[in-house]
Amino acid sequence: MEKFEKATFAGGCFWCMEHPFEKLDGVSEVVSGYTGGHKANPTYEEVSLGITGHTEAVQILYDPVKITYKELLNVFWKQIDPTDRGGQFVDRGGQYRSAVFYHNEEQKLQALESMKALEESGRFDKPLVTEITEASNFYKAEDYHQDYYKKNPVRYNFYRLNSGRDSFLRKKWSK
């Protein structure tokens, strides 16, 4: 029987974080939700107002025999601006901060190592500010947020195009 592990990442709008992970071999499930805050069972409206301390995040269930945590980290870094403390792209506020929420010490070490390697690569000209913190309660977002890019492709593509995410990522990762 396969043993699955969890990985939890925040990179701004969770709609934009599902697709890159769902297409990976070895990933069983990607769930949009909220984590890192102080309120139990927060709603989208509460998180959006920035009153819960939570950030939008995705929790990934994966088979470590088929895909490693390090590979997931490599995908994560290529979805975000790790130098932006105020949110991600058009989404502003702590509820859109970037973070790696580790589930064990090995994940913590790998996250710290990958962030250090990225910083030393010189790809970014500002310090990396992505949080690396212990995972806490993860609250699944409302059903209409799950697989939003599949359910609402026109709205999703319009949002994504106008968010500035793709142009930033092309500029930073096309080298």
Active site residue 13: yes
Sign of CA dihedral 46, 50, 55, 56: positive
Q: Do 106 and 114 meet the contact criterion of CB atoms below 8 Å apart?
A: no
C-beta separation of 156 from 148 below 8 A? yes
Report the candidate in 32, 36, 86 with the shortest Cα–Cα distance to residue 59: 32
> What is the distance in angstroms between the CA of the first residue and the CA of the last residue of the chain?
41
Catalytic-role residue among 13, 72, 111, 128: 13
Residue 52 near residue 137, CB atoms below 8 Å: no
Asked if 11 and 98 count as a contact pair (C-beta separation under 8 A), the reply is yes
Report d(CA 126, CA 48) in Å as an integer.
27
The residues assigned a catalytic role are 13
